Structure formats: structure tokens, C-alpha cells
Amino acid sequence: MNRRVLAYGLPGAASLLSGWLLAVMPVPPARAQQAATEATTPQAAAVKICTACHGMEMVTDTPRDIDTWHDTVQKMIDRGARGTPEEFELVMDFLYQNVTPIDVNHADADTLMAILHTSQTTAQAIVARRTSRPFKDLADLEGSVPGLDKALLESKKRMIFFQ
């Protein structure tokens, strides 16, 4: 057999064979399960998608308004973040509810409910109270409105404003 045929024929045959082997090899169970597992809660989606590239500290240490979060998530998608459209919606929910600043004296009731994790009754009480007298600070809010989760407010105090 001619050396030239061997030089060109064997590498081609080897790549065809290796391609065939890759095509028929089963996907390892861990990878198959990972691809099939879709996050179903906002926190699970954020952890699944965000921690593929960086720690959650990077997310939780950087409060942003919802428009900026939307731009940030779009940049992450453009850079290769992977998830279903539903998971990305859950990520946006997580970011909105947990890492978005709020001005208590100007936010509407729906925003107060989402970000402060309050009931509709409590959110309406905040709106009613600030109509007559704006809140000065977190202590004023906690002392004036029953039904607020003080531990949650304490954990989010760097994102709660009173302007």
C-alpha cells in the first residue's frame, strides 16, 4: 500500500471512528439528570444558573433596580448562561424579590408586597400611613406597621430607603 494513502487514509478513518463512538456512547447519568432537572423556584433557578459562572455572593452583594437586573441577565445570556425561558423568569423573580432596593415612601403596594414579603393588608397599611406622614427610617416603619417580618427587614436593611 502506498505511504501517501496511509498518511491520509488513517487519520480520516480514525476521526470517523471516534465520531461514531461519541455518537453511540451513552450520556453519563449525572449529566443526563442535570440537563433534565429544571429549577422550579426562584431561588433554585438563581442558584442553578448564576452559580454556573460565579458565586451567589456576587449576586446578593450587588442590589440593582429591576431594569438594571434585566440588562444584567441579558448580558449573562449573551455570554452563555444556560437555562430555559421559564428558569430565567424565575431568576428575575428572585432578583426582584431579594436583591432590588425599595423606597418605602414611594413604592406602590404590589412592590411593597413583593420586595418586603408582606401581605396586601400590611402593604396597604404602609401606603395609608405614609400618606399622612412619610416614614423616617426602618425603626419608624417597624414601630408603625404591624405584620412586618423584622428579621427579613433587618436582612434587607441596606436595600430599604426612605426618601
> Stretch 117-146: mean pLDDT, rounded?
97
> Stretch 50-71: mean pLDDT, rounded?
95
What is the reported pLDDT for 148?
Answer: 96
Please state which of the ranges 28-32, 46-50, 72-76, 94-98 shows the lowest mean pLDDT: 28-32
Question: Mean pLDDT in the chain?
Answer: 84
* Rounded distance between C-alpha atoms, residue 99 and residue 51, angstroms: 16
Task: Locate 24 and state its grid cell.
Answer: 453511540
What is the reported pLDDT for 94?
Answer: 97
Buried-exposed string 87-123: b where 16+ CB fall within 10 A, e elsewhere: bbebbbbbbbebbbebebbebebebbbbbbebeeebb
* Rounded distance between C-alpha atoms, residue 70 and residue 58, angstroms: 16
pTM of the model: 0.73
Q: Is the pLDDT of residue 36 over 90?
A: no
What is the reported pLDDT for 112?
Answer: 97
